Amino acid sequence: MEGILPLWKERGMTSHDCVFKLRKILKTKKIGHTGTLDPDVDGVLPICVGKATKVVEYMMETGKGYIGEITLGYSTTTEDRSGEIVEQVKVERIPTLEAVDAAMKEMEGKITQVPPMYSAVKVNGRKLYEYARAGETVERPVRIADIKSFKRTSDILVDEEQGTVSWKFEVACGKGTYVRTLAVDLGAKMGYPAHMSDLTRILSGTFKASDCLTLAQVAEKMEQQEIEEALFPLEFGLKELASFDIDEVLLDKVKNGSVLPLDTVPKELSMPVVFTYLQKAVSIYAIHPQKKDFLNPSKFYGIIYRGVFTL
C-alpha cells in the first residue's frame, strides 16, 4: 500500500494519535503525517503511506489555509482557548470593521513571529512546551512567517458579560506560521490581549477539505477493500515543486544517481526539481552543494510510484 491519504483530523486528538490509529487500521507501520495540528484544531492532515513517506519533508514546506476566530479581551498561556488566562482587559470601545480590516491588512506579507511557549520548536535541544510545563522560561527564536492573505469573514460579535469581542477570519500562509500567535499579535496591534478562540485547517498544499476522509471512513473503506481508491499518487505531494520530464537516456543516469550538468533542465525552473518519466516521479534533484554548476540527487533519490523502476 502506498500513496497519500488526505485525513480530516478531528478535535481531541494529536497528529501522532492519528498516525497511531492509522497504523492499526491500514495494517502498516510506514506512515507519516505532513504537519502537526494541535488537539483543539481540526482539519486537513495529509498522511503519507508506504513509499509516499519519502515526500513528507517536501509536503511540510507547502502553504496552508485556515478558518478560525479571534477574540479580544484576554490572552492565555497557550495563545488559544485551551490555556489559562494570563491577562484580561474588558473591551470598552468596540473596534469598527474598518479598523479590524486595516489591522489585519497590515499583517499580510513577510512578518516576524515569536513562537508560543506551548509549541514544539526546539531551543537547546528541548521543545518549548517542555520548558513551559516545567515552569521555566527561555529566550525564543524570532521566525519569519509569510502571510499571503488575512481576512475578516464575519461581523464583530460582542459579549458584554465577558467583556470580549470576536470575529471569524480566513488566512492563507506559508509553512511554519503560528496562527495562534497571529491572533495574539493582532490583538496587541489593536491594544488588547487576545487569543485564537477557534481554528480549522481547510487547505494543506494541494489538498482541501473535500478531499478528506475521517478515521471512521478510512476504516470503512478498509473493510470494503476500497482503500486504494482513496489514496492519491505521491506526485500530488510534489505539485508545488518544479518538474521536468526526462527521456530514457537521462532515466538511466538518474537511476544510477548521477551528478548532472545544471543546464540539463531549463534555467527558469526553480530548485529543487522533480524528474518525471511517463508522468511518474522518479527522483528529486537540487543544486550540488559544492559544484554550483551541477545538479545532485537529493536524499529522496529513487522516489517511485508503481513500477517506473525499483531500487
Residue 123 burial class via C-beta count within 10 angstroms: exposed 0-12, middle 13-18, buried 19 and up: middle
Q: How do residues 154-196 score in pLDDT, each as one tens digit? A: 999 999 999 999 999 999 999 889 999 999 999 999 999 999 9
Of the candidates 65, 15, 11, 6, the residue with the CA atom closest to the CA atom of residue 202: 65
Q: How far is CA 190 from the centre of its chain?
A: 28
pLDDT of res. 301: 46
Would you state the cell numbers that stand for residue 191, as one nine-digit string?
A: 491594544
Into which CATH architecture does domain 3-62+205-236 fall?
2-Layer Sandwich (3.30)
Residue 220 has pLDDT above 70, yes or no: yes
Give yes or no for a contact between 45 and 18, defined as CB atoms under 8 angstroms apart: yes
Q: Is the pLDDT of residue 31 over 80?
A: yes
Averaged pLDDT, 83-94: 93
Res 308: pLDDT: 46
Higher-scoring residue by pLDDT: 307, 86: 86
Question: Confidence band (pLDDT; 50, 70, 90) for 302?
Answer: low
Which member of 17, 38, 42, 263 is catalytic?
38
Contact 88, 192 (CB under 8 A): no
Q: Is 38 designated active site?
A: yes
* C-alpha cell read off for 150: 488575512
Residues of the chain within CATH 3.30.2350.10 domain(s) are 3-62+205-236, 64-198
Q: Which residue has the cell 497557550?
A: 78
Q: Output the pLDDT for position 300.
A: 59
Q: Is the pLDDT of residue 49 over 70?
A: yes
Say if domain 64-198 classifies as CATH 1.10.3860.10.
no
Q: Output the DSSP codes for 133-146.
A: HTT---PPPPEEEE
Q: What is the pTM of this model?
A: 0.87
Chain segment 125-165, per-residue pLDDT in tens:
888 778 878 888 888 888 899 999 999 999 999 999 999 99
Q: What is the pLDDT of residues 226-279, one digit of tens each?
A: 999 999 988 888 888 899 999 989 988 888 888 999 999 998 898 889 998 888
